[in-house]
């Protein structure tokens, strides 16, 4: 018997499927030339976003990265608005101004996705400071990859968050590669979580292919943050099944390595666990899967039928303008 | 009217805005216990407490990022970067994040953030504490850039900056802090995008910013003895920029000199000249000129440091040279 309720498990699986199918769908749309620019897929890493965000409340915050689709869906993002954004439509989350790397939905607490590696981490500290300042009890999760932990802003942010005991959980998705460079060439230590020692905060390694394990560890850190005990650093060991971007020739890793990691597919494993626990039946699981597929089809339909932004509006939204003012 | 220093004017603006709105807070290096390197935040900690006035580690990216995250979630942060030179360490946060968040979220994000800093040379601090980097930020869509020259302007503009819903880079000049000027006791604000004519004249228009306004004013006094009257315009905010006031002045005087302390190459002077040439070409009696800093790092030795940026004598000489030239006059001769 698993500790989580049937509803919670269902919700987690729904989100994992949504992420997987969203990514597969956009990969196809990319090759149909309906999506431009680089696409960073989250396939293989679903357990991290879903496990971590399942430990949050709706009003909690998330700050994400260039590989942010999974975080958006896991936090409760709207597939239709996401798809429209990736297709550069006026009906998208950011009215087609942001695209794949810059999703945001302030209603669900997704504040921003940074296209600059580690650029979102200082902002997550600010969101956490804001919760502390307003006594709002909100917690922020800051997602970033292994590569980000070699940036200066990672260091500045963890240090400041620790000194001020801010309610933020730093979740590092270690997917073994910083674009093409393996962590063995960019990190002098086996566990990034050990860097937490330098900031006087807890650092934990978790199996990033296991959604329940991620949930457990992040939940503990979130509760701790909500209690005013300060930040934590969690390293989720994971793997991207695809390249860094769609079209990546992937010359830097072997097929054997990919095959090994695919054996640990986070969705298949979670499905198996749930089935074995008898909390959800095969039929229920299949209908979850089907529903997610249908949602994606609808999202694509909606996005394709949505208008592109009006070219005359190209200078709109550079500045906030008071009611009645000029742009 | 009472006279207070530029530093006191900013200090008053800070206190008044923090009293008015409890979403306003201030963080930065040495701003709390010490009251700021130039004393701008003196008394804030005592009045508003540790939550609203905070000393930070020396971590400029984290300081600005904290401001961004707080602004995105409903607060109105004032973050201080001790020297404008230190913005280089926080450039990703300022340029990629703060400036672009509203645009790239299609208007979803609102970012009421003030980044307060100071620049300029004249204190023997050498190349890492004396730069004038405003042009970099003028170049970035999404930022507003303020550069006041007097205590009155500084106070009114600072209050407007705090109330603005966009990221504002507020740049003081370190030599201006002790300068005194008239500031009313009553509440007032100064809108962005409204230039101020600091001195009226007919023979030439000088556009200057920050400390250079004062140097231009002294030069104008000297030039008046030679019978030349100089109109001095302080744009006060570089973004948004009040082109109209400048055009009206150029149409009257027929001559334009832009004066700034920042390096000439890539400075704001070039952009201002472009705007004027495009719209006022027929009114110009002489080629417009830029008198600005040399294209060198600021040197340490006093004898070299003052060579790096325009001095009063340079302004006087440039103006005399420009007023000798008259295109309209020479055209007349050619026609007759």
> What CATH number is given to the structural domain containing A200?
3.40.50.970
**Terminal-residue alpha carbon distance, chain B:** 55
Which among B60, B62, B74 is the nearest to A125, CB-wise?
B62
**CA A241 to mean position of chain CA atoms:** 15
Give domain status of residue A323, yes or no.
no
CB B96 within 8 A of CB A119: yes
Q: Is there a domain that residue B291 lies in? A: yes
Nearest-10 Cα torsion for B243, B246, B250, B251: 70
Distance from CA of A52 to the nearest CA of B (A): 20
From B111, which residue of chain A is nearest by alpha-carbon distance?
A320
Question: Which among B34, B128, B129, B173 is annotated as catalytic?
Answer: B129
Contact check, Cβ <8 Å, A159/B59 = yes
Give the pLDDT of residue B332.
46
User: Hey, what are B245's tokens?
Assistant: 């006031």
Domain count, chain A: 1
Model pLDDT for residues A15-63, shown as the tens digit of each residue: 999 999 999 999 999 999 999 989 999 999 999 999 999 999 999 999 9
CA B2 to chain A, closest CA, distance in angstroms equals 34
Q: What is the ipTM of this complex?
A: 0.97
Q: Is the pLDDT score of A197 beyond 50?
A: yes
Task: Check B106 against A116: CB less than 8 A apart.
Answer: no
What's the CA gap between B155 and B249, in Å, rounded?
26
Does residue A314 fall inside a structural domain? Answer: no
Whether B161 and B266 share a structural domain = no
Note whether residue B189 is domain-resident.
Answer: no
pLDDT value of residue B329? 52
Calculated CA dihedral for residues A139, A125, A117, A210, nearest 10 degrees: -30
Return the percentage of chain B with pLDDT > 70, whole number.
97
Give the number of C-alpha atoms closer than 13 A to the C-alpha of residue A171, restricted to the C-beta side. Answer: 36
Q: A327: pLDDT confidence band, cut at 50, 70 and 90?
A: very low
Q: Per DSSP, what are the bridge partners of residue B197? A: B233
- pLDDT range class, residue A325, cuts 50, 70, 90: low
A197 touches chain B (CB under 8 A): no
Q: Identify the three-state secondary structure at position B260.
A: strand
Strands B180-182 and B256-263: unpaired
**pTM value surpassing 0.80:** yes
Nearest alpha-carbon partner for B168 in B239, B100, B216, B230: B239
pLDDT of the residue at B328: 55
When pLDDT is cut at 50, 70 and 90, the band that residue B335 belongs to is very low
Q: Which residue of A has its CA nearest to B101?
A: A112
Domain boundary pick from B149, B182, B215: B182
Question: Once rounded to an integer, what is the mean pLDDT over residues A203-219?
Answer: 98
The answer on B210 and B161 residing in a single domain is no
Active-site residue, B129 included = yes
Whether residues B142 and B228 share a domain: the answer is no
Residue A119 distance to chain B (closest CA, Å): 7
Q: Which domain holds residue B267?
A: 196-334
Indicate whether B297 pLDDT > 80: yes
The nearest CA of chain B is from the CA of A115 a distance in Å of 9
Q: Residues A227-283: pLDDT tens digits?
A: 999 999 999 999 999 999 999 999 999 999 999 999 999 999 999 999 999 999 999
Q: Which domain holds residue A55?
A: 6-304
pLDDT in tens, B121-176: 999 999 999 999 999 999 999 999 999 999 999 999 999 999 999 999 999 999 99
pLDDT per residue as tens digits for the range A71-108? 999 999 999 999 999 999 999 999 999 999 999 999 99
Q: Tell whether the model's pLDDT for residue B336 goes beyond 50.
A: no
- Is there a domain that residue B191 lies in? no
Residues B220 and B290 grouped into a single domain:
yes
What mean pLDDT is reported for chain B? 96
State which residue of chain A sits closest to B54, comparing Cα positions.
A164
- Of the pLDDT bands very low, low, confident and very high (cuts 50, 70, 90), residue A2 is confident
Q: Which residue has the tokens 């002045």?
A: B249
Mean pLDDT to the nearest integer, A298-314 = 98
Per-residue model confidence as pLDDT tens digits over A116-154: 999 999 999 999 999 999 999 999 999 999 999 999 999
As a whole number, mean pLDDT of residues B274-288 equals: 95
B328 plus B235 within the same structural domain: yes
Q: Which residues of B touch A (CB under 8 A)?
A: 25, 51, 54, 56-57, 59-62, 64-75, 77, 89, 92-93, 96-97, 101-111, 141-142, 144, 165-166
Distances (CA, A) of A256 to A184, A253, A260: 18, 9, 6
SS (H, E, C) A73-130: HHCCCCHHHHHHHHCCCCCCCCCCCCCCCCCCECCCCEEEECCCCCCCHHHHHHHHHH
Residue A78, SS3 per DSSP: coil
pLDDT above 90 as % of chain B: 96
């Amino acid at each position: 018997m698993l500790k989580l309720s049937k509803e919670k498990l269902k919700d987690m699986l729904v989100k994992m499927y949504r992420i997987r199918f969203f990514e597969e769908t956009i990969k196809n749309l990319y090759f149909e030339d309906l999506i431009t620019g680089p696409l960073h897929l989250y396939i293989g890493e679903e357990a991290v976003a879903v496990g971590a965000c399942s430990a949050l409340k709706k009003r909690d915050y998330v700050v994400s990265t260039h590989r942010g689709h999974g975080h958006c869906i896991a936090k409760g993002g709207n597939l239709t608005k996401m798809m429209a954004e990736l297709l550069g439509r006026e009906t998208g989350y950011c009215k087609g101004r942001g695209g794949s790397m810059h999703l945001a939905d302030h209603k669900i607490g997704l504040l921003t996705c940074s296209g600059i590696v580690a650029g979102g981490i200082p902002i997550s500290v600010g969101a956490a400071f804001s919760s502390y300042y307003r006594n709002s009890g909100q917690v922020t999760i800051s997602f970033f990859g292994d590569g980000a932990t070699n940036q200066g802003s990672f260091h500045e942010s963890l240090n400041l968050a620790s000194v001020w005991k801010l309610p933020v959980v730093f979740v590092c998705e270690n997917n073994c590669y910083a674009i093409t460079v393996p962590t063995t060439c960019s990190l002098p230590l086996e566990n990034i979580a050990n860097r937490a020692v330098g900031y006087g905060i807890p650092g934990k390694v978790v199996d990033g292919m296991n959604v329940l394990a991620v949930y457990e560890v992040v939940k503990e850190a979130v509760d701790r943050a909500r209690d005013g005990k300060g930040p934590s650093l969690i390293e989720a060991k994971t793997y991207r099944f695809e390249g860094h971007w769609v079209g990546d020739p992937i010359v830097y890793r072997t097929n054997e390595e990919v095959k090994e990691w695919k054996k640990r597919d986070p969705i298949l494993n979670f499905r198996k666990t749930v089935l074995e626990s008898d909390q959800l039946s095969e039929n229920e699981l299949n209908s979850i899967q089907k529903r997610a597929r249908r949602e994606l089809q609808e999202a694509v339909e909606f996005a394709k039928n949505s208008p592109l932004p009006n070219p005359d509006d190209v200078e709109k939204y550079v500045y906030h303008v008071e009611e009645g003012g000029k742009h | 009217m009472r006279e207070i220093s530029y530093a006191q004017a900013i200090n008053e603006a800070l206190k008044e805005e923090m009293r008015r709105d409890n979403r306003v807070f201030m963080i930065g290096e040495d701003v709390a216990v010490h009251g700021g390197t130039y004393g701008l935040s003196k008394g804030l900690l005592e009045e508003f407490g540790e939550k609203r006035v905070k000393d930070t580690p020396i971590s400029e990216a984290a300081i600005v990022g904290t401001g961004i995250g707080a602004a995105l979630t409903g607060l109105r942060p004032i973050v201080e970067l001790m020297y404008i030179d230190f913005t280089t360490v926080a450039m990703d946060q300022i340029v990629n994040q703060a400036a672009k968040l509203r645009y790239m979220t299609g208007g979803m994000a609102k970012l009421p953030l003030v980044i307060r800093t100071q620049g300029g040379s004249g204190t023997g601090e050498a190349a890492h504490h004396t730069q004038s980097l405003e042009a970099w930020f003028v170049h970035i869509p999404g930022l507003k850039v303020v550069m006041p020259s007097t205590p009155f302007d500084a106070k009114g503009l600072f209050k407007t900056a705090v109330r603005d819903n966009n990221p504002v880079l507020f740049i003081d000049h370190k030599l201006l802090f002790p300068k005194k000027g008239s500031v009313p006791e009553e509440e007032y604000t100064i809108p962005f995008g409204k230039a101020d004519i600091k001195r009226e004249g007919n023979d030439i228009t000088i556009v200057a910013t920050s400390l250079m306004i004062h140097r231009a004013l002294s030069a104008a006094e000297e030039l008046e003895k030679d019978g030349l009257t100089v109109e001095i315009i302080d744009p006060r905010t570089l973004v948004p920029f009040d082109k109209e006031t400048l055009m009206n002045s150029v149409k009257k005087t027929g001559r334009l000199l832009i004066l700034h302390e920042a390096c000439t190459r890539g400075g704001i002077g070039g952009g201002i000249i472009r705007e004027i040439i495009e719209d006022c070409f027929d009114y110009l009696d002489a080629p417009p000129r830029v008198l600005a800093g040399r294209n060198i790092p600021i040197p340490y030795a006093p004898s070299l440091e003052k060579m790096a940026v325009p001095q009063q004598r340079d302004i006087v000489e440039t103006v005399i040279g420009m007023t000798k030239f008259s295109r309209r006059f020479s055209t007349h001769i050619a026609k007759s």
